[in-house]
């Protein structure tokens, strides 16, 4: 993540152990390629000279490296949306405060807690891996390859994600971006308990945390068709889908891509959901009525063996296959598969902002 020091750093107290320890912590995170630090060049010159007698040799090396890269890092200020402003607390400013997508965090915050790479928390490990791949493709498109992505993918455990997020925020101080499915069956569907509880957990005041719920029902619904075609046979599904379901792009967000959709499933839903899926319901009802095979079967149990009332999905391993494909192919190739569907890009940028780290530091004094 980008940690930008404001001009209050000129008030750094060399006799304050807490401030010195916090500065060492942040400079260490920079040297370890975990977070980018930017300090205005004039403030940086002052700080480098001011603290040279009280910080370690490795921190002095880090400050010199920041001077060497100050112009490059300044260019990030117009690119990065989610960032941390580090300030020195005083009688007027204290504690962690958020304004928009910027967190104002006192330097002393980092004195005892330490800081490591930002956590990218999904409902499972494959979700988090996919989010980081989106960030890599965003990075490639924006030509920001002089930086690393250092986000830590973490699994929330499905419906246990709110508990995982709560525990993370209780014990860790590093930034966290948490993303979950919406579980929506249509645009106006109620908020899921997972989403509601994650949102509540992320309202904590003294941590750098962002939570978003996808508009899509599941992460699979966010995958562009051209990417899906690389890992599953989608033509038959698309044909069924187009003929029986689509009344606009919305349906692609809410259909169960893994299991598909069935007449029986629709008929069990509430009236508002059934209204949303009315075209699929009507089409599948006609298919059942006109199915010659069903007419020869006796009893409902036997008729359920026929698949005429179902649009078959793509299987349970869709996401796993996509992530495997992305692992095996570089962004310069996979980026082309995402160019006709940019719904992923907003998420990719957020993960990039939380994960950005310097490339090639690891500079410590001998």
Instruction: Pick the last residue of a domain from 99, 115, 131.
Output: 115
Is 328 inside a domain boundary? no
Residue 209 above 90 pLDDT? Answer: yes
Residue 179: inside a domain, yes or no? yes
Task: Quote the pLDDT of residue 240.
Answer: 60
Residue 77 lies in a domain: yes
Give the model's pLDDT for residue 30.
Answer: 95
For residue 342, what pLDDT is reported? 87
Pairing of strands 152-155, 102-106: unpaired
Instruction: Say yes or no to pLDDT of 93 above 90.
Output: no
| 15 is a domain residue | yes
Indicate whether 139 and 213 sit together in one domain: yes
pLDDT digits (tens, 9 = 90+) for 295-350: 655 555 555 667 788 888 888 899 999 999 999 999 999 999 998 888 899 999 99
In total, how many domains does the chain have? 3
Q: Are residues 45 and 68 in the same domain?
A: yes
Domain region containing 300:
225-312
Q: Tell whether 20 and 64 lie within a shared domain.
A: yes
- How sure is the predictor about 289, in pLDDT bands with cuts at 50, 70 and 90? confident
Clarify whether residues 165 and 235 are in a common domain: no
* Same domain as 242, residue 193: no
Residues 108 and 27 in one domain: yes
pLDDT at res. 365:
46
Average pLDDT over residues 219-246: 76
Kindly state the percentage of the chain with pLDDT values over 90: 70
pLDDT at 265: 92
User: Mean pLDDT in the chain?
Assistant: 89
What tens digit of pLDDT does each residue of 110-121 get?
A: 997 778 999 999
Indicate whether 330 belongs to any domain: no
Same domain, 11 and 110: yes
Given 97, 115, 133, the domain boundary residue is 115
Mean pLDDT along residues 59-79: 93
- Are both 17 and 92 inside the same structural domain? yes
Report if residue 334 sits inside a domain.
no
Residue by residue, what is the 3-state secondary structure of the chain? CEEEECHHHHHCCCCCHHHHHHHHHHHHHHHCCCCEEEECHHHHHHHHHHCCCCCCHHHHHHHHHHHHCHHHHHHHHHCCCCEEEEECCCCCCCCCEEECCEEEEEHHHHHHHCCCCCEEEECCHHHHHHHHHHHHHHHHHCCCCCEEECCEEEECCHHHHHHHHHHHHHHCCCCEEEEECCCCCCCCCCCCHHHHHHHHHCCCCCCCEEEEECCCCCHHHHCCHHHHCCCCCCHHHHHHHHHHCCCCCHHHHHCCCCCEEEHHHHHCCCHHHHHHCHHHHHHHHHHHHCCHHHHCCCCHHHHCCCCCCEEECCCCCHHHHHHHHHHHCCHHHHHHHHCCCCCCHHHHHHHHHHHEEECCCCCCCC
Distance CA 59, CA 272 (A): 61
pLDDT of residue 366: 41
Measured distance CA(5)–CA(46) in Å, rounded:
13
CA angle in degrees (0–180, nearest 5) for 315-234-178: 60
Average of pLDDT values for 352-358?
A: 97
Residue ending a domain, choose from 58, 90, 115: 115
Residues 211, 191 share a domain: yes
Same domain, 126 and 85: no
Residues 10 and 107 in one domain: yes
Same domain, 111 and 138: no
- Confidence check: pLDDT of 293 > 80: no
For residue 362, being part of any structural domain is answered with: no
Residues of 126-137 as b/e, b for ≥16 C-beta within 10 angstroms?
Answer: bbbbbbbbbbbb
Taking each helix axis from N to C end, the angle separating 125-141 and 345-355, rounded to the nearest 10 degrees, works out to 90
pLDDT of residue 60: 93
> Has residue 109 been placed in a domain?
yes
- Rounded to an integer, the average pLDDT of 123-147 is 95
pTM: 0.91
pLDDT of residue 312: 82
């Amino acid at each position: 993540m980008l940690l930008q020091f404001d001009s209050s750093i000129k008030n750094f107290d060399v006799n304050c152990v807490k401030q010195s320890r916090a500065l060492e912590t942040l400079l260490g995170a920079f040297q370890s390629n975990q977070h980018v630090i930017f300090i205005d060049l004039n403030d940086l010159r002052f700080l480098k000279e001011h603290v040279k007698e009280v910080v370690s040799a490795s921190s002095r090396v880090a400050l010199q490296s920041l001077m060497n890269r100050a112009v490059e890092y300044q260019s990030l200020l117009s690119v990065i949306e989610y960032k941390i402003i580090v300030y020195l607390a005083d009688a007027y400013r204290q504690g962690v405060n958020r304004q928009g997508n910027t967190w104002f965090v006192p330097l002393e915050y980092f004195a005892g807690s330490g800081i490591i790479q930002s956590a990218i928390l999904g409902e499972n490990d494959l979700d988090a891996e996919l989010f980081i791949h989106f960030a890599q493709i965003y990075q490639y498109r924006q030509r920001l390859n002089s930086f690393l992505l250092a986000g830590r993918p973490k699994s929330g455990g499905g419906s246990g994600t709110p508990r995982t997020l709560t525990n993370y925020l209780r014990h860790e101080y590093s930034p966290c971006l948490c993303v979950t499915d919406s579980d929506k069956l249509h645009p106006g569907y109620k908020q899921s308990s997972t989403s509601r509880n994650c949102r509540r957990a992320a309202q904590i005041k003294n941590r750098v945390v962002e939570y978003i719920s996808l508009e899509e029902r599941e992460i699979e619904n966010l995958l562009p068709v051209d990417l899906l075609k690389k890992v599953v046979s989608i033509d038959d599904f698309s044909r069924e889908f187009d003929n029986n379901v689509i009344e606009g792009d919305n349906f692609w967000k809410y259909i169960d891509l893994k299991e598909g959709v069935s007449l029986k499933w629709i008929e069990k839903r509430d009236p508002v959901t059934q209204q949303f899926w009315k075209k699929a319901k009507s089409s599948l009802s006609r298919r059942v009525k006109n199915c010659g095979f069903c007419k020869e079967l006796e009893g409902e149990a036997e008729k359920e063996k026929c698949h005429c009332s179902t649009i078959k999905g793509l299987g349970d391993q869709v996401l796993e296959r996509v992530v495997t494909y992305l692992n095996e192919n570089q962004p310069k190739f996979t980026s082309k598969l995402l160019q006709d569907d940019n719904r992923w890009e907003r998420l990719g940028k957020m993960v990039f902002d939380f994960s950005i780290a310097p490339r090639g530091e690891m500079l410590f004094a001998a």
